């Protein structure tokens, strides 16, 4: 029942918050309950450590019609992503504290949390798919109701574009399950069962492609990334945090959870394509980020770049590469989540988000500048901070699989400095322009310092001492490594 | 003695239809006795009659009845249950103006229930006519006016063409095989032509490409709750007609089945492309119902290609059941709010949050978003398509679902995200208790039946248990 609680509790909390009579009480309750859920997720490490094996805390129901079966389990990768999600929910709700929003806003985040937890822990592909799709709906309303001026179009584009990926995924999954039935005479949606019977032949390639497209839209992998900039830019700050911090990880997680275990040979063969696209993501995302005038859009494109590293790590199919890819998912949640929160705080004060709208902020808002600096340096991969560890591990893994791709990928680290540092210099030390609003920006208050402090602490700790997290990831990662 | 036995067997086979006929007589009688005050009593009689028919249906025996030219199988029961449920909802909404329209409605319902059990082409034709004729009158009768008159006439001519096709097909088939039995079909050209003509009549009734031109006008001009009834119950009956013709998978049926993928793809694409551009909500739902016919035709092909046995009709039945709940709900929203135009939905979420939430749920279900019944229905159809090897049709289906989600979400956007424009604001019309109760059932079914994929098999198998 431990894992059932992990996805049911946020849903119930959401319903409870939604039913609150006043905005104030909904806000307090939402933050309190999300805190409880975070504490619960953190506590899960205790029963988790007490069990042996890769999959722990398993809950298996009996197989019903068509082999669909309630099956939850936790491994190191899922545990890290659940922690990340629970933490980001708390932080983004705390960051939305001052926004005068109805109970539905807080509830939507809790519903989203429920769907994400379910995606990360279900081992039955039917339920996996249901919650995969379901996660779209709260985000659709978060963007459409509480986003900025272009929110309506962005919300629709976000859902329709990612639904295209979902449909590709659905067809791939159904074909996979049907083929498995023809080979074994048994209906099953269980990931482990499906992985046990390799699918071969030309059909396997099509299924692999359909599933890969489904996951790639979510990551997003170039050229299926078009929905991302608009959705991230128009969403409210807290929505962008969850979108980048947790929802994109669903795609990477899908690659790890479904594609690699079920199709090991094809995944090895896919190195030039999917590993190559990872490199394209890294470089293309960085180049696009360089050209952005809107701060939020800039950060959105850095997501494309960072998730390219995840892809590079995973499709190197080496233990260090996959571990680095997983670490990079967590790191990206911290750094990009932090940057979106910071932009949100600046926007709350000035109602601007253009890079040129600010200047000389270091003088007027020193604390904000320090936080911004640390998080940005983490994002561009400075040694000593968390981003560096993940990137180096993915590239080291890739170097064992394909040296040219590793070399090209490492270009991304240089480009990251090229998009990050000039923007930072302009905003914090540059001369305030004629339209600059920097003079009116007050510094961070205690609540904001606390929210960002948590992230900065995580960034520093993971940067100098990532070993505990890596140890947690190791069993699951080594089971996936093929090279 | 012999006669008494025969008539009792006949009565057992036709008990639900007999109950409805008694109710029909009762409503007419109440009209004669009470004159203008008869509507409430007639409604109560109809309600009781439908409930009694439902009870008789569930308790009734399975098997053929030679005297009644009928055969009650699990599919017949399953479909009759749908018809009765739809009719119950329609009566519960309670806006039929008088005893005569209620009697007409019951007549149509008897026709549907006859289609379900008919085991003979002559009876099938009579059932088709019994179902159809009252609907033409009700399109105009429930909402008198020029537009509905025009629509009713259009509907009548389309229906007459369908009947003519059916009759012609029946004659050709009889000439080729010398039998009126549904099952007797050989590989001869006459047998195929007869089946094709009768199949076309069924396609006319459901509004499949290229026989769908009448449908948007009719659904737009009729009262919303009657459009809801036509799009769910009458369509389900039309599909059952088609399925009965294809059932058993004779050579002629197999040849006809081969045409279905193309028809399905054309129908869903046509419906969705035109729905994308509609401003009138009833018209939009009409085109969307054409798209759903396309999905159902795809499912029909997958069913036929995998043997076409009655026991495997669960996917189609579940889709029709899901569609019954969600489309009835969507049309009832239009009825309760008086909104006819998409633009009038702007800012509706602020003015009436509960009704809006209900409509959004129906739209998400129509669009196939989990965990609704609409998702599960589509999920099963795509699965059947893949099992039958129709991967390209599954891809067309998926792309169509995406286009459809586009216009359903456009409505959600108007309701939830847009602000009210001055002058278009419209307070929701007070909804009747009956309509609200039906809407609550629709919402509950759409959500709860979407959560449990096993329910489909349990329900459907229960109709075969006898």
Q: Tell me if B382 and A164 make a contact (CB, 8 A cut-off).
A: no
Query: Is there a contact between A345 and A375 (Cβ–Cβ < 8 Å)?
Result: no
B175 belongs to a structural domain:
no
Q: Tell me if B417 and A159 make a contact (CB, 8 A cut-off).
A: no
Q: Is A134 on the interface with B (CB under 8 A)?
A: yes
Domain total in chain B: 1
Nearest to A459 by CA among A391, A384, A390, A386: A386
- Residue A327 CA to residue A315 CA, distance in Å, equals 15
B134 belongs to a structural domain:
no
Average pLDDT score, chain B: 89
Question: What range defines the domain where residue B388 resides?
Answer: 261-466
Q: Is A203 on the interface with B (CB under 8 A)?
A: no
A368 belongs to a structural domain:
yes
User: Side-chain half-sphere of B354: how many Cα atoms within 13 Å?
Assistant: 7
Q: Is A137 on the interface with B (CB under 8 A)?
A: yes
> Could you tell me how many CB contacts below 8 A there are between chain A and chain B?
73
Selecting from A133, A151, A170 the residue whose C-beta is nearest the C-beta of B382 gives A170
Q: Tell me if B364 and A137 make a contact (CB, 8 A cut-off).
A: yes
Q: Tell me if B369 and A133 make a contact (CB, 8 A cut-off).
A: yes
Domain total in chain A: 1
Query: Is there a contact between A31 and A52 (Cβ–Cβ < 8 Å)?
Result: no
Q: Tell me if A160 and B405 make a contact (CB, 8 A cut-off).
A: yes
Query: Is there a contact between A127 and A70 (Cβ–Cβ < 8 Å)?
Result: yes
Q: Tell me if B453 and A134 make a contact (CB, 8 A cut-off).
A: no
A155 belongs to a structural domain:
no
Which chain A residues contact residue B372 at CB under 8 A?
A: none
Q: Tell me if B417 and A155 make a contact (CB, 8 A cut-off).
A: yes
A257 belongs to a structural domain:
no
Query: Is there a contact between A330 and A462 (Cβ–Cβ < 8 Å)?
Result: yes
Checking if the pLDDT of B122 tops 70, the result is yes
pLDDT value of position B1: 40
Question: What range defines the domain where residue A278 resides?
Answer: 270-483
- Residue B278 CA to residue B410 CA, distance in Å, equals 11
Q: What is the 3-state secondary structure (H, E, C) of chain B?
A: CHHHHHHHHHHHHCHHHHHHHHHHHHHHHHHHHHHHHHHHHHHHHHHHHHHHHHHHHHHCCCEEECCCCEEECHHHHHHHHHHHHHHHHHHHHCCCCCHHHHHHHHHHHHHHHHHHHECEHHHHHHHHHHHHHHHHHHHHHCCCCHHHHHHHHHHHHHHHHHHHHHHHHHHHHHHHHCCCECCCCCCCHHHHHHHHHHHHHHHHHHCCCCCCCCHHHHHHHCCHHHHHHHHHHHHHHHHHHHHHHHCCCCHHHHHHHCCHHHHHHHHHHHHHHHHCCCCEHHHHHHHHHHHHHHHHHHHHHHHHHCCCCHHHCHHHHHHHHHHHHHHHHHHHHHHHHCCCEHHHHCCHHHHCHHHHHHHHHHHHHHHCCCCCHHHHHHHHHHHHHHHCCCHHHHHHHHHHHHHHHHHHHHHHHHHHHCCCCCCCCCCCCCCCHHHHHHHHHHHHHHHHHHHCCCHHHHHHHHHHCC
| Residue B130 confidence class, pLDDT cut points 50, 70, 90 | very high
Q: At what angle do helices B373-387 and B353-367 cross, to 10 degrees?
A: 0
- Residue B331 CA to residue B431 CA, distance in Å, equals 13
B200 belongs to a structural domain:
no
In the numeric block, the tokens 């000439």 are attached to B175
Query: Is there a contact between B419 and B346 (Cβ–Cβ < 8 Å)?
Result: yes
Largest CA distance in chain A: 72
Chain B interface, Cβ < 8 Å to A: 364, 369-371, 375, 379, 382-383, 386-387, 391, 394-395, 398-399, 401-402, 405-406, 409-410, 413, 416-418, 453-454, 456-457
- Average pLDDT over every residue of B338-365: 91
Q: Is A64 on the interface with B (CB under 8 A)?
A: yes
Checking if the pLDDT of B431 tops 80, the result is no
- Residue A342 C-alpha, separation from nearest chain B C-alpha, in angstroms: 26
- Residue A150 CA to residue B16 CA, distance in Å, equals 57
Q: pTM for this one?
A: 0.94
Q: Is A409 on the interface with B (CB under 8 A)?
A: no
Residues with pLDDT less than 50, chain A: none
pLDDT, one tens digit per residue, over A203-241 is 899 999 999 999 999 999 989 999 999 999 999 999 999
Q: What is the 3-state secondary structure (H, E, C) of chain A?
A: CHHHHHHHHHHHHHHHHHCCCCHHHHHHHHHHHHHHHHHHHHHCHHHHHCCCCCCEEEEECCCCHHHCCCEEEECHHHHHHHHHHHHHHHHHHHHCCCCCCCHHHHHHHHHHHHHHHHHHHECEHHHHHHHHHHCHHHHHHHHHHHCCCCHHHHHHHHHHHHHHHHHHHHHHHHHHHHHHHHHHCCCCCEHHHHHHCCCCCHHHHHHHHHHHHHHHHHCCCCCCCCHHHHHHHHCCHHHHHHHHHHHHHHHHHHHHHHHHHHCHHHHHHCHHHHHHHHHHHHHHHHHHHHCCCEHHHHHHHHHHHHHHHHHHHHHHCCHHHHHHHHHHHHHHHHHHHHHHHHHHHHHHHHCCCEHHHCCCHHHHCHHHHHHHHHHHHHHCCCCCCHHHHHHHHHHHHHHHHCHHHHHHHHHHHHHHHHHHHHHHHHHHCCCCCCCCCHHHCCCCCHHHHHHHHHHHHHHHHHHHCCHHHHHHHHHHHHHHCCC
Residue B372 phi, psi dihedral angles, 5° rounding: -90, 170
pLDDT, one tens digit per residue, over B352-386 is 899 999 999 999 999 999 889 999 999 999 999 99
B11 belongs to a structural domain:
no
Q: Is A190 on the interface with B (CB under 8 A)?
A: no
Selecting from A66, A133, A159 the residue whose C-beta is nearest the C-beta of B453 gives A66
Q: Residue B455: how many CB atoms within 10 A of its CB?
A: 16
User: Side-chain half-sphere of A206: how many Cα atoms within 13 Å?
Assistant: 13
Which chain B residues contact residue A151 at CB under 8 A?
A: 417
Joined together, the tokens standing for residue B412 give 């959600």
pLDDT, one tens digit per residue, over B273-324 is 999 999 999 999 999 999 999 999 999 999 999 888 888 999 999 999 999 9
B45 belongs to a structural domain:
no
A361 belongs to a structural domain:
yes
pLDDT value of position B192: 87
In the numeric block, the tokens 């046509």 are attached to B270
- Average pLDDT over every residue of B252-276: 92
Q: Tell me if B364 and A64 make a contact (CB, 8 A cut-off).
A: no
Selecting from B383, B401, B409 the residue whose C-beta is nearest the C-beta of A167 gives B401
Flag the least confident range among B60-74, B220-234, B301-315. Answer: B60-74
Nearest to B379 by CA among A171, A251, A180, A483: A171
pLDDT value of position A463: 92
Residue B443, Cα to own-chain centre: how many angstroms? 18
pLDDT value of position B249: 58
A483 belongs to a structural domain:
yes
Long-range contact set of residues A360-363: C-beta below 8 Å, sequence gap at least 24? A360/A428, A360/A429, A360/A430, A360/A431, A360/A432, A360/A436, A360/A438, A361/A427, A361/A428, A361/A438, A361/A441, A362/A428, A362/A429
Q: Tell me if B371 and A136 make a contact (CB, 8 A cut-off).
A: no
User: Side-chain half-sphere of A410: how many Cα atoms within 13 Å?
Assistant: 12
B62 belongs to a structural domain:
no
- Average pLDDT over every residue of B407-425: 85
B133 belongs to a structural domain:
no
B415 belongs to a structural domain:
yes
| Closest residue on chain A to B388 (Cα) | A178
pLDDT value of position B4: 46
A3 belongs to a structural domain:
no
A64 belongs to a structural domain:
no
């Amino acid at each position: 029942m431990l894992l059932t609680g992990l996805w049911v509790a946020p849903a119930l909390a959401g319903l409870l918050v939604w039913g609150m009579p006043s905005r104030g009480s909904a806000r307090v309750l939402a933050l309190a309950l999300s805190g409880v859920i975070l504490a619960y997720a953190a506590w899960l490490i205790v029963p988790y450590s007490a069990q042996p094996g890769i999959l722990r805390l398993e809950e298996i129901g009996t197989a019903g019609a068509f082999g669909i079966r309630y099956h939850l389990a936790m491994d190191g990768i899922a545990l890290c992503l659940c922690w990340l999600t629970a933490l980001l929910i708390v932080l983004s709700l705390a960051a939305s504290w001052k926004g005068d929003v109805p109970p539905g806003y807080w509830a939507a985040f809790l519903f989203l949390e429920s769907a994400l937890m379910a995606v990360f822990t279900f081992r039955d592909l039917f339920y996996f798919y249901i919650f995969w799709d379901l996660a779209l709906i709260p985000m659709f309303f978060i963007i459409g109701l509480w986003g900025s001026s272009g929110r309506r179009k962005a919300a629709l584009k976000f859902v329709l574009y990612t639904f295209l990926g979902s449909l590709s995924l659905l067809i791939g999954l159904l074909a996979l399950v049907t083929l498995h039935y023809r080979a074994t005479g048994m209906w099953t949606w269980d990931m482990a069962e499906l992985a046990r019977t390799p699918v071969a032949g030309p059909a396997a390639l099509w299924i692999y492609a359909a599933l890969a497209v489904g996951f790639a839209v979510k990551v997003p992998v170039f050229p299926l990334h078009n929905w991302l900039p608009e959705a991230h830019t128009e969403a409210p700050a807290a929505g962008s945090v969850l979108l980048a911090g947790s929802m994109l990880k669903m795609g990477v997680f899908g690659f790890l959870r479904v594609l690699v275990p079920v199709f090991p040979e094809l995944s090895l063969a896919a190195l030039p394509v999917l590993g190559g696209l990872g490199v394209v993501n890294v470089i293309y995302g960085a180049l696009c980020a360089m050209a952005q005038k809107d701060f939020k859009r800039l950060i959105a494109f850095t997501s494309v770049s960072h998730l390219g590293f995840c892809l590079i790590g995973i499709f190197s199919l080496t233990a260090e590469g996959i571990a680095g890819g997983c670490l990079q998912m967590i790191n990206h949640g911290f750094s990009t989540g932090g940057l979106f929160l910071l932009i949100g705080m600046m926007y709350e004060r000035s109602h601007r988000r253009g890079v040129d709208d600010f200047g000389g902020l270091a003088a007027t808002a020193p604390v904000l500048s320090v936080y911004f600096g640390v998080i940005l340096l983490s994002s561009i991969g400075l040694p000593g901070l968390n981003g560096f560890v993940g990137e180096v591990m993915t590239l080291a893994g890739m170097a064992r699989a394909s040296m040219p791709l590793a070399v090209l990928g490492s270009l991304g680290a240089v480009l990251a400095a090229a998009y990050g540092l000039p923007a930072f210099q302009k905003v914090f030390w540059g001369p305030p322009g004629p339209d600059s609003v920097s003079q009116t920006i007050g510094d961070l208050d205690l609540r904001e310092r606390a929210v960002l402090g948590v992230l900065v602490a995580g960034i520093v700790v993971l940067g100098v001492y990532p070993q505990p997290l890596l140890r947690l990831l190791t069993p699951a990662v080594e089971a996936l490594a093929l090279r | 003695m012999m006669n008494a036995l025969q008539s009792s067997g006949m009565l057992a086979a036709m008990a639900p239809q007999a109950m409805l006929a008694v109710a029909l007589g009762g409503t007419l009688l109440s009209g004669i006795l009470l004159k203008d005050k008869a509507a409430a009593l007639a409604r109560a009689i109809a309600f009781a009659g439908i409930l009694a028919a439902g009870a008789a249906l569930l308790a009734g025996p399975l098997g053929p009845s030679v005297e009644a030219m009928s055969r009650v199988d699990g599919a017949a029961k399953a479909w009759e249950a749908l018809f009765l449920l739809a009719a119950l909802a329609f009566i519960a909404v309670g806006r039929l103006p008088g005893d005569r329209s209620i009697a007409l409605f019951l007549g149509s319902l008897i026709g549907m229930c006859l289609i379900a059990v008919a085991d003979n082409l002559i009876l099938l034709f009579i059932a088709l006519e019994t179902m159809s004729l009252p609907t033409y009158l009700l399109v105009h009768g429930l909402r008198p006016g020029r537009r509905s008159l025009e629509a009713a006439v259009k509907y009548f001519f389309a229906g007459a063409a369908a009947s003519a096709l059916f009759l012609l097909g029946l004659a050709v088939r009889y000439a080729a095989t010398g039998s009126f039995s549904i099952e007797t079909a050989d590989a001869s050209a006459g047998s195929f032509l007869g089946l094709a003509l009768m199949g076309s009549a069924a396609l006319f009734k459901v509004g499949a490409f290229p026989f769908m031109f009448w449908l948007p006008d009719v659904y737009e001009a009729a009262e919303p709750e009657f459009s809801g009834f036509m799009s769910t119950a009458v369509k389900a009956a039309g599909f059952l007609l088609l399925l009965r013709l294809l059932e058993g998978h004779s050579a002629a049926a197999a040849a006809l089945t081969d045409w279905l993928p193309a028809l399905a793809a054309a129908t869903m694409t046509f419906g969705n492309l035109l729905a994308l551009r509609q401003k009138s909500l009833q018209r939009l739902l009409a085109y969307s119902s054409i798209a759903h016919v396309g999905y159902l035709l795809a499912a029909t092909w997958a069913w036929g290609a995998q043997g076409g046995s009655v026991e495997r009709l669960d996917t189609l039945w579940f889709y029709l059941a899901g569609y019954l709940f969600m489309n009835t709900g969507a049309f009832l929203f239009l009825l309760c709010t008086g909104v006819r135009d998409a633009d009038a939905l702007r800012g509706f979420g602020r003015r009436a949050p509960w009704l809006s939430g209900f409509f959004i749920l129906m739209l998400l279900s129509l669009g196939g978003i989990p965990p609704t019944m609409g998702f599960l229905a589509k999920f099963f159809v795509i699965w059947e398509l893949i099992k039958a090897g129709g991967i390209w049709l599954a891809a067309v289906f998926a792309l169509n679902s995406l286009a459809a989600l586009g216009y359903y979400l456009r409505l959600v956007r108007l309701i939830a995200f847009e602000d009210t424009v001055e002058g278009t604001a419209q307070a929701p019309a007070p909804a009747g208790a009956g309509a609200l109760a039906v809407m609550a059932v629709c919402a509950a079914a759409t959500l709860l039946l979407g959560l449990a994929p096993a329910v489909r098999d349990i329900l459907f198998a229960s109709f075969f248990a006898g």
